[in-house]
Structure 1
Amino acid sequence: MTIKYIQGGVTSPKGFTSSGIHCGIKKNKNKKDLALIISEKECNAAAVYTKNQVKGAPLLVTKDHLKNNTAKAIIINSGNANTCTGDTGLANARKMCEFVANSLNYNTEDVIVASTGVIGVQLDIDKIKDSIPTLVGSLSENGYLASTEAIMTTDTFEKTLALELELSGKKVTIGAMAKGSGMIHPNMATMLSFITTDINISPTLLDKALKASVNISYNRISVDGDTSTNDMVTILANGLAENNLIDEENEDYLLFLEALKTITISLAKMIAKDGEGATKLIECTVLNAKSEEEGELLSKSVISSSLVKAAIFGSDANWGRILCALGYSGIDFDPLKVDLTFGSSVGDIKVCENGSPLNFSEEIAKNILLEKEIQILVDMKAGSNTVTCWGCDLTYDYVKINGDYRS
């Protein structure tokens, strides 16, 4: 059995249910703002957190609760980040875990917490407390869409996926949901993502697989250059697939890692495509880099460039901006060896060879760049490493959205 996508999300693996409701944090009563994911069995758990020095209270509480590498539930609110809220914010993050634990007869340390939304505003914890009975009562194997909707802020569509694979004769399922549209910049990873799986795997290898998948997916996207304060990726594995325990890096581990990378890359591309105000997904692939690290820094520099993003918005084949972005990446390379090619679903066109302009058709180039998904191929001719990062164009609407974000 190969890896295959199925319809679903965080409730697709055995033993998981979820819910999503409106509790009143968001003013719009039609928008859900509180989500819950639970497992019927204790899970091995791992997480990766933002590297921003300013971290939201939920991240600090989650880190503390995951010291034993286990968890059974995740509660998430949107509309308020619970960041820069002092001791009150920490107390509120802990209370969110306590509310769930008391309702489900779990240990408080078995519940982890996440928040997203406006920074610097105290969370109305009473609204969450009063909504816990409804939240718990709404738990369902079909709740993945409701919980995905409840974690959205400026997202324009739900980001939810599930896939299946076979390990030691057993069907293993991975489900995931994510949110992210603004404050997206590589550095782990300025968004929220919650992954569930019924795989039977040791905590050490679960943590290793999560970090490896994050490094080549969520850490390779950028929307606006802002690394957020609250963002993290978590994974819960409850073992109900009953595959042979994975406690060494064998063939089963490698297949699981491939599946995990597949789902996180797909979600990362969704986030980049859904950048605030964005109209186009930008995929920059650096070919023949000296090392993977250098390739990543070069590619990130291109997708993070405001001038490159603006040019793609305008369908302008202004390739000099790309070479410029490569030049300030901090990587030492020979500009006179670089080739640049633009591509999309309608074709591709090389615009630069060995650092010099080619006599290309501006009309053909514009038609290529008018598409919704744009590829930028950069051949460094310096090694044998290939790295891809994802971003989006920069539009007028980005400023509009962020100019009145709190209103």
Structure 2
Amino acid sequence: MEPKRVKIIASAAVISLLILIIIFRIALGRSTAFYLFTGADCAVILAVVIWASFQYATVYSRTKASTNRTALEGEQLRLEYSFLRKVAGLPAKFRYEELEAATDNFKALLGRGSSASVFKGILDDGTPVAVKRIEGAEHGEREFRSEVAAIASVQHVNLVRLLGYCCVPGGGFKYLVYEFIHNGSLDSWIFPRRGGSFNGEGACLPWPLRYKIAIDVAKALAYLHHDCRSRILHLDVKPENILLDESFRARMSDFGLSKLMGRDESRVVTTVRGTRGYLAPEWLLENGISEKSDIYSYGMVLLEIFGGRRNVCLVGDGNNSQRKWSYFPRIVSEKVKEGKLMEVLDEKLKGGGVEEREVRALVNVALWCIQEKAKLRPSMARVVDMLEGRLLVDKPPETEMIIVDLLSIDDDNLTGAGGSRQMQSQPPTMSTYSCGMSVLSGR
């Protein structure tokens, strides 16, 4: 019975019995019959109250059980939805307070770029993560969300998984939460740090691992270019964005805000994004970019894997006036023509365990990838086939490398705060572009 109906019946019964007591009091006075009737009347009132209380208790228990059942079903639905999101690989939306707690108030800095910083953190469930804080204002919140949603659903064994994101209201920082990769980035394993040391207690990657990493990265880019619903351009392929897991499998990272291309688009025009030394010439010529721009950057990375050095660096002894910029791709091209390729192989690899056939294949693929004419560069799917030996690697055509020479020289990197020239420990390849193409145009 409904609570409202119980209340009406009980109230009507009690009021009626009280009226009868008043009537009998007037009619019978203080006689024995009146007291007998009053006692019986009060017993009936007590019975009505007990009945109403029982009805209320029954209805309350039913209502509480129904509420608990609804809450339980809601919790189950929430857990199932969360499980399905994880299975589908969709990004979770984190609260800022969660990321602040996970990173201990952003104290464990892993690295810093021109517009972002990366911090190590541990989520409540014990999952280690890398939290990237985007400090630039070039991406609006709507664009940020749409690109994250599109790219986070992309999963591949050679891509770092994007776990979630966070947008701070009021135009604050934006955050991307990635899985944490334990062995760090490729640059710390192939380029010596100050003092000649490497990552991993002085370890240096042997040739078989380097060749495997080259194939892993090619597979990741081939997947982004060919096997996604929309083609995804990474636009910042470099050793710093290639991470190595516990098995030294390469995992491409920092693709959360890459450029999306429709299948019907042959090229797109955008502002210059990427790192000097890895940028394809078409950035400067304002011809628009395509997946061929990633292929160019990949070729430059291959040469650095082969040589164990930056493609652009200062060489020579003495003061600044006696040192000059060295452009490694041109050196490699000349050594290939002379038949002396192994002379410029990374010195640390010359102790043995190097397959000369693989070295020549990798270098020839790299020289194909860095052709100044984009149409001459092979697709990443073809690159995978060549590196894995399913296709023969033809001799690449010669390229002038004139435009790249212009990118290689940056006098500003040699000038200190007071205008005096000073040596830099890092070559100009480490500077990152974030300006419009018209600024770089020579016309």
Above 0.5 in TM-score?
no
Find the structure with the greater CA-based Rg: 2
Q: Answer 1 or 2: which has greater strand percent.
A: 1
* TM-score calculated relative to the size of structure 1: 0.27
* TM-score calculated relative to the size of structure 2: 0.26
